[in-house]
Amino acid sequence: MEINQQSFKEIYDEANCGIAIYEVLNDGKYGKDYIIKRFNKAGLEIENKTLSQVVGKKLIELRPTIDDSGLINIFRKAWKTGIPQKFPSMHYVDETYNNYYENYVFKLEDGSVVALYNDVSNIMNLLKKAEDNEEKIRAILDQSPLGIAIVNSITNKYIEINQSLSSITHRSIDELMLEDWISITHPDDLQEDLDYMKLLNQGEINNYKREKRYLLPEGGFIWATLIVARINYKHSNEKIHLCMIEDITQQKRAERNQKSLDGIYREQQRLESISTLAAGVAHEINNPLNGVINYSQLIVDECKKDSAIQGYANEIMRESHRISIIVKNLLQFSRRESPEYEVNKIDKILDSTLSLINVILKRNQIELIISLDSNLPLIYCHSQQIQQVLMNLIINARDSLNEKYPSAHKNKEINLTINLIEKDNNRYLRISVTDQGMGIPKKIRQRIYEPFFSTKPKEIGTGLGLSISYGIIKEHKGFLSFDTEVGKYTTFYLDLPVYKESDLE
């Protein structure tokens, strides 16, 4: 469509954009083929030229690199077809100019080509600056060791996510964009976040910081420090939050390990105190106990054979010897030295343990049923430590039975069996301790070996028993496992490797 020349003349002088009229020579393929016929006032201002400096000149003389810009193809197309053409913002650079221009090109009735153009350098420079800033921000996001996300606080969906957050949460960026922050937050930590978010949305706070857990897709969780800040837009009521997440799982694990070591150290100190007390008690008991035994022996020797008094004296001697054995075992159990591992019989270790705990079980109306295979092989172990583990397992079974049956009951019994098993082509003595108590709830089964984790009241349990027992059995190259059903039973399996001569090497 060719433009009417009269219509064009009316707007030519009043236009705010640059207008240039060209006569086309030859086939219009090059800048030298376009001769400048007229320039309006706005165009001269853009070019910073006078009319005499441009009229009659070839376009290539005004713009030496015009053939490389792509604009000549637009000129030629409008001239050939008569259809107006638009050439979007182009960056023109030569020794004189370094600008962005936007062109609209059409053909007049006399065959002239007209270009309406604007210098849009300011706008394009602002856009480029914005793009550069966006690129810098993206680089900062992508290279930051912190997980960073921008979240819509109404939908709780992610708007932007960096690669570090993807790595921290073990999810791809695409996977995170399909989820919201609620779905990956540990349930026990969710309500505190929701309370903070409510305060942020209401404008009562501008930011908050906390430690929380994020669920991992493969199971388990990581610990993180979360900082959330509200982003305010001047011209929008959209509620957007900036979130920064730092993985502190290793730090938490180190703190837990240190806490465990501190607890074990305190436990050792407590046992050392017991050892000192036991040594003193044993000394005070053994002296008069020896007197009782000696005088009982004198009575036996002086009395008539098979008389009632001799029988009483023999009973006094037997019970005195039993007390002596109990005191000896108590003293040995509380002693915290670290002797060399020794070859031991499991039934001997069991007898020492039962001498300390039988009275406790009887007082709680609990029957202990023991079943041992005959000719059990020897084990290579630290006998006091194995005794400690057995004590712990039996005491835990007692507590579970007492919780379920506060008074006497036919099912208030602990079954302890010892038999030989094979596992991975190795032989082990398996000690099984079974009670028909409360069972272990499913939600805490993964935590029962954690230091300081206990379902017992603080005055009863420290949460160290199973943790220490697990460590002891691991040091013995054995295994500690369990089987349980809530409300019915729990069985702990203590597997200790059978003694081999190579253990002494």
Digit-by-digit pLDDT tens for the chain (505 residues) are 455 555 566 667 677 888 999 999 999 999 999 999 999 888 898 888 899 999 999 999 988 999 988 899 999 999 999 999 998 888 888 888 888 888 899 998 889 999 998 888 887 777 777 677 767 767 777 778 888 888 888 888 998 888 889 999 999 989 999 989 999 999 999 999 999 988 988 888 889 999 999 999 998 899 999 999 888 766 556 778 889 899 999 988 888 777 767 766 766 666 666 666 666 776 677 778 777 778 788 887 888 777 888 888 888 887 787 777 667 666 655 555 555 688 999 998 998 888 778 888 988 999 999 999 888 999 999 888 898 899 889 989 999 999 999 999 999 999 999 999 998 889 999 999 999 999 988 888 888 777 666 666 655 555 557 877 888 888 899 999 999 999 999 999 999 999 886 655 5
**Topology match between the domains 5-122 and 340-504:** no
- Bridge pairing between strands 367-372 and 413-423: parallel
Residue with tokens 């060209």: 22
**Cβ-proximal residues to 269 (8 Å cutoff; 6+ apart), any chain:** none
Q: What beta strand segments (E) does 126-239 contain?
A: 147-152, 158-161, 207-215, 221-231
Specify whether domain 340-504 bears CATH 2.80.10.50. no
The fold of 144-247 is Beta-Lactamase (3.30.450)
Q: Which fold has domain 5-122?
A: Beta-Lactamase (3.30.450)
Domain range annotation of the chain: 5-122, 144-247, 252-337, 340-504
Q: Are 62 and 54 in contact (CB under 8 A)?
A: yes
Decide which of 1.10.287, 1.10.260, 1.10.4100, 1.10.3470 is the CATH code for 252-337.
1.10.287
Distance CA 71, CA 321 (A): 114
Q: What is the pLDDT of residue 500?
A: 81
Q: Output the furthest CA–CA distance in the chain (Å, rounded).
A: 155
Residue 122, judged by CB atoms within 10 A of its CB (0-12, 13-18, 19+), counts as exposed
Q: What is the DSSP string of 49-94?
A: --HHHHTT-BHHHHSTTGGGTSHHHHHHHHHHH---EEEEEEEEES
Nearest to 463 by CA among 285, 260, 240: 260
Q: What is the pLDDT of residue 10?
A: 62
Phi, psi of 279 (to 5 degrees): -60, -45
Relative to beta strand 479-485, strand 413-423 is unpaired
pLDDT at 90 (0 to 100): 81
Q: Do residues 351 and 326 make contact, with C-beta atoms less than 8 angstroms apart?
A: no
pLDDT (0 to 100) of residue 200: 87
Q: What's the confidence (pLDDT) of residue 12?
A: 73
Run of H or E including 267: helix 249-302
CA distance 143 to 137: 10
Question: Measured at the alpha carbon of residue 147, what is the angle toward residues 181 and 162, in degrees to the nearest 5?
Answer: 90
DSSP H or E stretch at residue 98: strand 98-107
